[in-house]
Copies of this chain bind each other. A is one copy, B any other.
Amino acid sequence: MRIGDVARQAGVSTRALRYYEEQGLLSADRTVSGQRVYPGSAVERVRMIQQFLTAGLPSRTIRKLMPCVDTGHGSDEVFEMLAAERARITAAMADLAAAREALDRIVAMAHHPDPEHCPALRETPWGPHEAAEPPAAVQQSVPVS
């Protein structure tokens, strides 16, 4: 397959494919004239690369990961990286869930015809917080003339 075919089938740009090669994520044979020639498995591989990129793994990390995918085994160092990335992903999922709930609270607040509903953020468990603005704070400088 040539680069355009892979690009179409994997749903990415040819620019991306050249970039992946540049980053050492994807290799290609060449014709005498220098055109890239890919095996059919390249499509799968590109999809995997995309999935990892979408998940926030930097290309540098993926580069270290791919040999492990190809050969089936890797060094302890690689597995530590993998574990770390796994943890990062899990944490990111938690962050997303929290943000989504925050959005949901906002729409609920806005659509809920209850009394005193509007700036009722105080009722939501939003991490540690101190008393909201005590009348006389600690370090007060010249407060607006």
Contacts and interface: CB of A to CB of B under 8 A. Distances in A.
Contacts of A57: 99
Contacts of A137: 1, 40
A4 B87 CA distance: 31
Sorting the interface of chain A by its residue count into under 10, 10 to 19, 20 to 34 or 35 or more gives 35 or more
A89 B82 contact: no
A69 B115 CA distance: 16
A126 B48 contact: yes
A70 interface: yes
Given A44-B126, A133-B40, A51 B102 contact: yes
A103 B89 CA distance: 10
Interface in A1-33: 1-2, 5, 9, 29-33
A117 B2 CA distance: 29
A10 to B, nearest CB: 9
Interface of A: 1-2, 5, 9, 29-33, 35, 37, 39-41, 43-44, 47-48, 51-52, 54-57, 65, 68-74, 79, 82, 85-86, 89-90, 92-93, 95-100, 102-104, 106-107, 109-110, 117-121, 126-127, 129-134, 137, 139, 141-145
